Amino acid sequence: MTAGTAVNVTVHALDEEGAGVALAPGEGAPPLELRIAGALPDEVVSARIEHVSNHRRLAWATLLSIDTAAATRVAPACAAYGRCGGCVLQHFDYAAQVAWKQQTLRALVAAEPALQDVAVLPAVASPAPFGYRNKSKLVPARDRDGRLVLGAYAPRSHRVVDLAGCAIAQPPLDDVAAALRDVLDEHGVVPYDEQRLTGTLRYVILRASASGDMLAVLVTAGEAFPGGAEIATALAARRPEVHGVVQNVNLSRGNVLFGPREVTLLGERTLPDRIGKVRLCVSPQAFFQTNRDVAALAYGAIAQAVDPRPGDVVVDAYAGIGGIALGLAPSVGRVVGIEEHPAAVEDATVSATWNGVTNATFVAGDVAERLAAVGQADIVVLNPPRKGCAPAVLDHAAALGPRVIAYLSCNPETLLRDLTLLHQRGYRTRHITPFDMLPHTPHLEALAVLDRT
């Protein structure tokens, strides 16, 4: 079977990227596995093969028509669905999405020899499947009609798709984006062209707090930003919820989002926010869970699972701006938060003051080295980036001798790898709980709780 061939197939599963999986007859050879974006299990679809692997019986196909729709198919909420590449599962009923993610994690755990007996608890759904995202990263561009748009790059391209009306964004974000688009257009701001290295504005990052206050970050390709202060003033005049506008200067030629230099154009450079009862200082470049409701549920599950006691020493590795550490601090004797990024440590320290926490210390540096310097801990929390923990981090975490380790992961594959290594270091996984932090995407957050054996 070659590119351009049309096939009619029955979809039986979804792959890790949310595309439908089907088998096409092999014409004398083994069946060809097809990946079809937009197709759902139990559907009969027509598709056109676009690319065939040279190494496996695997091909990618474009969905042409749905001949028999699945009962789980729903109408997508966004006008940009299928073009922006973001919410690839918006056509999949939300309850079915959560069930699929739970099943996926259970299959991954069962396939790991050291973890086959570990229980995967029911997945925790997002209280709000839409309007949950508290941050928008937008790319400015001109459309075919010359109109300024704020959007996202289409998959595998530099074509910008207009994200006006995004259904997963917290409501103020779309309104502020629309007002900012108009202000930028009125001031003649030229979008940056990555290929020609021309123009001024590279990205727009908008953050909305739990109370609806807003922080706008305008990432420019150079120090000069003519009219920047006037743009900030005009935006705040039209949208009073905008309490701060910051210019970030990014001189790099790659796809790095931020540069090191910031200029406050209006108001405050940080945004007060909260997860659960913890108030947090969010600076322009801070990592902050984009779904604060699910983050609150996950942090609450950590607090319940580790059973904090008044004399406990807690170490929160990859502490970020301190959401987990500050939530545990009132129940324990001492908390040490370790974070690689100094700016996040500054935010966490401010957050500790806001919450009246005096028994928490936040330090910046290499996580493994900082763990080695702690000495002893009763509770260790690990919340690493997608690449997971380096073996040295796991060595030092286990060497602290905590009675319990809570590991919150945004990548099930590295989570299971690291759990296996922790089992070799004297710990056993009590259970794993999936959390749907990003509805309508294949992304899966999971919390593992380990006890010392």
Report the chain's terminal Cα–Cα distance, integer Å: 54
Q: Which amino acid is at 134?
A: N
pLDDT band at 27 (very low <50, low <70, confident <90, very high): confident
Give Cα 287 distance to the centre of its chain.
Answer: 9
Whether the domain at 6-68 and the domain at 135-269 fall into the same CATH topology: yes
At 225-254, the pLDDT tens digits run 999 999 999 999 999 999 999 999 999 988
The phi and psi torsions of 107 (rounded to 5 degrees) equal: -70, -40
Fold (topology level) of 135-269:
OB fold (Dihydrolipoamide Acetyltransferase, E2P) (2.40.50)
* Mean pLDDT lowest among 154-163, 266-275, 427-436: 154-163
Fold (topology level) of 98-128+291-452:
Rossmann fold (3.40.50)
* pLDDT surpassing 90 at residue 144: no
Give Cα 318 distance to the centre of its chain.
Answer: 15
pLDDT at 143: 87
**Does the annotation count 410 as an active-site position?**
yes
Give Cα 180 distance to the centre of its chain.
Answer: 24
The C-alpha R_g of the chain, in whole angstroms, comes to: 24
Q: Is 209 helix (H, G, I), strand (E, B) or coil?
A: coil
Which CATH superfamily hosts domain 6-68?
Nucleic acid-binding proteins (2.40.50.140)
Q: How many CB atoms lie within 10 A of CB 289?
A: 22
| 383/346 Cα distance (integer angstroms) | 18
Helix, strand and coil percent figures for the chain, each rounded to 5: 25, 35, 45
pLDDT at 178: 97
Closest CA to 101 of 389, 414, 387, 438: 438
Q: How would DSSP label each residue in 375-429?
A: ---SEEEE---TT---HHHHHHHHHT--SEEEEEES-HHHHHHHHHHHHTTTEEE
Give the sign of the dihedral formed by CA 361, CA 257, CA 134, CA 83.
Answer: negative
At 368-421, the pLDDT tens digits run 999 999 999 999 999 999 999 999 999 999 999 999 999 999 999 999 999 999
From the list 84, 87, 166, 410, the catalytic residue is 410
pLDDT band at 2 (very low <50, low <70, confident <90, very high): confident
pLDDT at 10: 97
* pLDDT surpassing 80 at residue 330: yes
Q: Which residue has the tokens 């709980």?
A: 433
pLDDT at 335: 98
* pLDDT surpassing 80 at residue 1: no
pLDDT band at 123 (very low <50, low <70, confident <90, very high): very high
| 282/271 Cα distance (integer angstroms) | 5
pLDDT at 248: 98
At 33-89, the pLDDT tens digits run 999 999 999 999 999 999 999 889 999 999 999 999 999 999 999 999 988 889 999
**What is the rounded average pLDDT of the residues 360-374?**
97
How high is the mean pLDDT of the chain? 96
* Mean pLDDT lowest among 28-32, 114-118, 214-218, 382-386: 28-32
pLDDT band at 179 (very low <50, low <70, confident <90, very high): very high
What percentage of the chain exceeds 70 in pLDDT? Answer: 100
**Long-range contacts of 99-102, Cβ-Cβ distance < 8 Å, separation of 24 or more:** 99/123, 100/14, 101/434, 101/436, 101/442, 101/444, 102/434
| 122/111 Cα distance (integer angstroms) | 18
Closest CA to 245 of 232, 227, 258, 257: 232
**What is the rounded average pLDDT of the residues 104-123?**
96
pLDDT at 30: 86
Q: Which amino acid is at 142?
A: R
Contact 380, 407 (CB under 8 A): no
| 322/328 Cα distance (integer angstroms) | 10
* pLDDT surpassing 80 at residue 26: no
pLDDT at 241: 97
Closest CA to 160 of 194, 132, 208, 200: 194
pLDDT at 47: 97
Contact 271, 244 (CB under 8 A): yes
At 412-421, the pLDDT tens digits run 999 999 999 9
3 state SS for 327-361: HHHHHCCEEEEEECCHHHHHHHHHHHHHCCCCCEE
Closest CA to 277 of 355, 345, 348: 355
Q: Which residue has the tokens 């020493």?
A: 313
Domain residue spans in the chain? 6-68, 98-128+291-452, 135-269
**What is the rounded average pLDDT of the residues 272-298?**
97
pLDDT at 251: 95
